[in-house]
A and B are shown apart, each in its own frame.
Chain A
Amino acid sequence: MEWHGYTGNILNVNLTDNKISITKENLEDLRQFIGGMGMNCKLFAERFKPNIDPLSAENLIIIGTGPLVGTATPGASRTVGISRFPATGAIANSCGSMSFGFQLKHAGFDHVIISGSAEAPVYLLIWDDHIEICDARQLWGSDIVETHDALIKKYDSCGTIAIGQAGENLVFSSLTLIDRTSTFGRGGLAAIMGSKNLKAIVAKGSKGISIAHPKEFNKLYNNLFERIRNYPHRESWHELGMLRSLPVGMMLKASGQKKKARQCTDRFYLNKLKKRRIACPSCPMGDKDILELKEGDFTGLINYTSSVINPFLMFIFEGLKSYTEAIKTFDLINRYGLDSLTMVSLLEFCNKLYKKGIFTKENTGIEWSADVNTFIQLIEMITHRQGFGDILADGWNKLAETYDDIGEEMLVVKGLDVIFEPRFLHLGTMEFEQVVNPKGAHVASGGSPTYVGAGSSKDKFIAHFKRMGIPESAIKRLFSPPFPEMIINVGRLTRYSEDWYTVLTSLGLCARAQMNRFWGLESASEFYNAITGIEISPEDLRMAAERTWNLMKIMNMKEGFSRKDDKFPKEWFKPLKFGVNELEFIDFFGEIKITHDIANQLLDDYYDERGWDNENGLPTQDKIKELGLEKYL
């Protein structure tokens, strides 16, 4: 058959025996499971064995991308990876951007299935029909920027997924960077690659992507592109990137760090830091940053990041005294391939335990001090698994097992530290979803009208619900929270946030607010039909997303996860000292304090809206049958 949008090809690479083969996708599968996230889940579910060591040769990495990627469809450039992650033991999809997925499509593949483990360091080259497992001994020991630059020098324009020293040393909080910029694989994807001796994956393609119905596509594309061109805030997004939506300076000010807040303003960023704006392929709302330090001890340092807000968020840690220290530390974390958010959380947690006398110089080997030197020492010790760093390198779960009674104080869900703090931001879907996400605490799939910066009036909610394709029949339930003052039922809404995220990610579309806002379930299905020629309705698309999410849950059920793991961190129920304020765990509109009973009620409502059993938090037999997933049990 002639493929449009999709390439129809899956690349299989076994690193143990150097075996490479190509299999074909079939249309029936693609009606059930869509693109990057959907087919990734299906391919993984058909192949995985439960309870294997995530860092063994038995674990698989499947990398996929969506049917809209590789075309000019605005914001279509996502890369999706699924595996069993070491930090949590969960099976999860992780997403990144930049050019890898785009190049993979142009090389002629929708998915790559990587199995086994190489004897010595290798990198995988996917260059049109030339697929090769290449010697990477010269690259082993290099950081991510060095690795990427060496590969670019060799292959010119190409997409790379690379690991740093943290991945090589199997650190659980390691991640990869795509094109040395976009984080990919929170929870230890880099360690999984490291366990396979896989230093990098390179994709470079020239085959092109054709369109099934050009006339329909042109109309859709031109309309959407003009909407984006005329979007009144487009230029300020170009100028400020993500800083526009998350004013870190205000957060710092509220935390009482006024001097530092002045170093995170729009003007400061533009004058002192911004070097160049970069964008993913096909994105007219680019927000990736190349930063340059123009003063201080690290003058001349160049940092590549998915957003300046990443180093700025680290700045909230009181031990970092100036923005130059924040950028320098962040750059080191990036180069080693560590998770910057986890590093800050770990350091803050360790400092807390040091003040309590649980951690001492004697039992950790570290002269603790809340400053940049301790931070850098900790990063080095974790990356290279030295001394106490070897315990921290095995993640939060290992830390909780090693020391008595400290697990209760961790801001962690299923082994991943929480990113969005509801005591500061209130309990929206992004904050709630951190509890129920099979992956552990994460924020990407919790997007809804309650994400930061979005409007919060009831009318705006309803308009957004319609865009996300939430059925009319559900809307009344979404406005039925445990207490009327809460207005919105965040538990129930989270189910639809996850489904909407799954639609976008499966197609390959960006979920960030500035692109997400231009898409709806209906327009997404229209683009899909025009590009692929595979006719599906908006409801089919939503259903495929629901099927994907349920299949991911079934796989994690087999790994032993259930409601007992969907736990709100106990610390959330205690006041958070933030500057001169004490912040409470309250609902999105700030009216009701969230108690354990309310939190449990919201969990019940989430499972109910999903059609799951609220005793065990798992899909019911009826739901499994409705979605045609019986064969995966």
Chain B
Amino acid sequence: MVKKILYEIIVHEDKCTGCLICQLNCSYVHKQIFSPSEAFIQISNQYSLTPKILFLEGCTHCNQCAQHCLYGALELKEVEQ
């Protein structure tokens, strides 16, 4: 039996740079268009002192957002099944 590895995303809002790469990849993978407003992850107060990261209903936990976050704001952590 092949063991399936699951991940959860640990969010570090203080590391978010507001680059929106997570949103762009999410909308492109799921809607085939680059459109932050259609992403299942939303970044608000993008360039403020306190950015906010929110996952919306419809998120499939595909982890594309975290896989493309190079700043450490979305950390992929292996979880036990």
Do A and B actually bind? yes
**Is A278 touching B17 in the complex (CB atoms < 8 A)?**
yes
**Is B32 touching A276 in the complex (CB atoms < 8 A)?**
no
Name the B residues within 8 Å of A214 (CB-CB). Answer: 32
A72-B35 contact, Cβ under 8 Å, with A282-B19, A286-B19, A290-B49: no
Nearest B residue to A149, CB-CB: B48
A72 to B26, CA, bound (A): 10
Contact among A98, A209, A283, A302 with B33 in the assembled complex (CB-CB below 8 Å)? A209
B50 CB, nearest partner CB in chain A, Å = 9
For residues 1 through 44 of chain B, which have their beta carbon under 8 Å from a beta carbon of chain A?
A: 14, 17-21, 24-25, 27-28, 31-38, 44
A72-B28 contact, Cβ under 8 Å, with A208-B38, A282-B19: yes
A277 to B15, CA, bound (A): 8
Name the A residues within 8 Å of B49 (CB-CB). Answer: 275-276, 290, 302
**Is A279 touching B32 in the complex (CB atoms < 8 A)?**
no
Q: A210 in the interface, Cβ–Cβ < 8 Å?
A: yes
**Is B19 touching A281 in the complex (CB atoms < 8 A)?**
yes
**Is A71 touching B71 in the complex (CB atoms < 8 A)?**
no
Name the A residues within 8 Å of B46 (CB-CB). Answer: 99, 157, 278
Q: A238 in the interface, Cβ–Cβ < 8 Å?
A: yes
Q: A234 in the interface, Cβ–Cβ < 8 Å?
A: yes
Contact among B17, B34, B70 with A229 in the assembled complex (CB-CB below 8 Å)? B70
**Is A181 touching B47 in the complex (CB atoms < 8 A)?**
yes
Q: A136 in the interface, Cβ–Cβ < 8 Å?
A: no
A276-B14 contact, Cβ under 8 Å, with A106-B35, A206-B37, A208-B27: yes
A281 to B18, CA, bound (A): 7
A180 to B46, CA, bound (A): 13
Name the B residues within 8 Å of A209 (CB-CB). Answer: 33-35
Q: A440 in the interface, Cβ–Cβ < 8 Å?
A: no
Name the A residues within 8 Å of B28 (CB-CB). Answer: 72, 211
A71-B24 contact, Cβ under 8 Å, with A209-B34, A276-B14: yes
Against B, the Cβ 8 Å flags (1 = close, 0 = not) of A290-319 are: 100000000000101000000000000000
**Is A280 touching B24 in the complex (CB atoms < 8 A)?**
no
A207-B20 contact, Cβ under 8 Å, with A156-B44, A286-B71: no
Name the B residues within 8 Å of A179 (CB-CB). Answer: 47
**Is B24 touching A282 in the complex (CB atoms < 8 A)?**
yes
What's the tally of chain B residues with a CB closer than 8 Å to chain A? 26
A285 CB, nearest partner CB in chain B, Å = 8
Contact among A71, A208, A278 with B18 in the assembled complex (CB-CB below 8 Å)? A278
**Is A284 touching B19 in the complex (CB atoms < 8 A)?**
yes
**Is A208 touching B34 in the complex (CB atoms < 8 A)?**
yes
Nearest A residue to B18, CB-CB: A278
For residues 102 through 156 of chain A, which have their beta carbon under 8 Å from a beta carbon of chain B?
A: 102, 106, 152, 156
Name the A residues within 8 Å of B14 (CB-CB). Answer: 276
A280-B19 contact, Cβ under 8 Å, with A70-B34, A99-B46: yes
A99 to B19, CA, bound (A): 9
A279 to B27, CA, bound (A): 19
Nearest B residue to A102, CB-CB: B20
A148 CB, nearest partner CB in chain B, Å = 9
Nearest B residue to A228, CB-CB: B70
**Is A238 touching B71 in the complex (CB atoms < 8 A)?**
yes
Nearest B residue to A287, CB-CB: B17
A99 to B14, CA, bound (A): 20
A210-B33 contact, Cβ under 8 Å, with A71-B24, A179-B47, A278-B47: yes
A181 to B47, CA, bound (A): 9
**Is A157 touching B71 in the complex (CB atoms < 8 A)?**
no
Nearest A residue to B19, CB-CB: A279
For residues 66 through 81 of chain B, which have their beta carbon under 8 Å from a beta carbon of chain A?
A: 68, 70-71
Q: A349 in the interface, Cβ–Cβ < 8 Å?
A: no
Q: A359 in the interface, Cβ–Cβ < 8 Å?
A: no
A152 to B51, CA, bound (A): 13
B42 CB, nearest partner CB in chain A, Å = 9
Name the A residues within 8 Å of B36 (CB-CB). Answer: 106
A228 to B69, CA, bound (A): 12
Nearest B residue to A72, CB-CB: B24
For residues 68 through 96 of chain A, which have their beta carbon under 8 Å from a beta carbon of chain B?
A: 70-72
- Give 25 CB contacts A-B under 8 Å: A71-B24, A71-B34, A99-B46, A106-B36, A180-B47, A206-B37, A207-B35, A208-B27, A209-B33, A225-B68, A229-B70, A238-B70, A275-B49, A276-B49, A278-B46, A278-B47, A279-B17, A279-B19, A282-B19, A282-B21, A283-B17, A283-B21, A286-B19, A290-B49, A304-B47
Contacts A209-B35, A214-B32, A279-B19 known; 12 new A-B pairs at CB < 8 A = A106-B35, A106-B36, A157-B44, A208-B34, A210-B33, A238-B70, A238-B71, A278-B47, A280-B19, A283-B17, A290-B49, A302-B49
Write the residues of chain A forming the contact surface with B, with a CB cutoff of 8 angstroms.
Answer: 70-72, 98-99, 102, 106, 152, 156-157, 179-181, 206-211, 214, 225, 228-229, 234, 238, 275-284, 286, 290, 302, 304
